[in-house]
Each structure stands twice: as structure tokens, then as C-alpha cells.
Amino acid sequence: MMDRPPATILPLEAQSPELAIAASWRHEAFLKDDGLTVADSAAQLTRLVTKPEGPETALIALLGERLAGICLLVLHELEPAHDLSPWLASLYVDPEFRRQGVARRLVRAIEDHARRNAVRRLHLYTVDAEDFYLKCGWTVVERFEAGGVSLVLMARDL
């Protein structure tokens, strides 16, 4: 098998074609069950990239010209069950590009960005990617239920 070059990590830009694709991914994977629309998802991303607060950022992974994944650093989770901040959120890799280390690079890049912005501890919620985050060095803080769903609160000291 030929080795692919590693993904390039860049900030998401407003009005880029990548923003619309990322908005659609986020909606499908994380938002639609809460009644939010693709337009809501795009508006949230546009706000994040045009008016980031503090350490907030949206990073994308490109493989060649193709968008392979996205990951966010946000001050506020959508429906937080914990009074914590900031959060790693909306990590998503296109199914075609999974298991090639794209998510790991995105998580590292978000951690590096957070560290450069004086963040000492990052948090996240996950339903079924706990094992992935354990491999990335995160730890389980708490398991809890919300809306009939089993969630895991995880954290990473930077």
C-alpha cells in the first residue's frame, strides 16, 4: 500500500466550501437529534470562525484537496451537564478517511492550540468514542445519563 501524506491541519474559514460540508457533518452526527437544522450548524460555525471568544477555534484536516475532518474548541458545550470550560467538540472524520490517524492529528492540534492560549485542562463528552480518546491520552472523569443516553465526561490536562 502506498503511504499517504499526513493530513494538513488548518483553521476553518468563513464562506469556504469546507464550512458548508463541516456544517452538514456536524448536523448529521451531533445536532439533528436535538432539533437543530443544518443552517443552525452553519451559523454556529460561522460565529466561531468570525467571532471566536478566548481560545475558541475550528480546525479542519485536509488530505490533498479533500476535507477529511473537523474539530472544535469551544467555551460552551451545546447542552452542558457540567459547569466546565473549555470543551473539545464536534470531532468528525469523513468515513472514507477513518483509521488513518486524521482524528488523532486533529485532537493534537486542538490541544496545542489550547495550550498556546493558556488553557490548562480540556473537557469533552462522548457517547461511543471513549476508547479513541483513551488512546489519545484523555481520562474518564464521569459516566452519566442525559435524555436516556449514556455519556462519558472526559478530560485532558495540558
Which of 101, 108, 117, 141 binds ligand COA (CB under 6 A)? It is 101
Q: 80 to 99, contacts with ligand COA by CB under 6 A?
A: 91-93, 98-99
Nearer Cβ to ligand COA (29/158)? 29
Q: Does 103 bind ligand COA (CB under 6 A)?
A: yes
Nearest C-alpha neighbor of 72 from the set 49, 54, 51: 49
Which of 52, 100, 141, 151 binds ligand COA (CB under 6 A)? It is 100
Nearer Cβ to ligand COA (7/49)? 7
Instruction: Tell me the C-alpha distance between 131 and 139, whole Å.
Output: 10
Q: Binding string, 127-146, against ligand COA, x = CB under 6 A?
A: --x-xx--x-----------
Instruction: Tell me the C-alpha distance between 9 and 84, whole Å.
Output: 26
Q: Identify the three-state secondary structure at position 154.
A: strand
Nearer Cβ to ligand COA (20/136)? 136
Q: Identify the three-state secondary structure at position 45.
A: helix
Compute the least distance from the CB of residue 9 to ligand COA, in Å: 12
Q: Identify the three-state secondary structure at position 152.
A: strand
The two beta strands, 149-157 and 139-146, are antiparallel
Q: Does 29 bind ligand COA (CB under 6 A)?
A: yes
Instruction: Tell me the C-alpha distance between 146 and 98, whole Å.
Output: 28
> Where do contacts with ligand COA occur on this chain (CB under 6 A)?
29, 91-93, 98-104, 126, 129, 131-132, 135
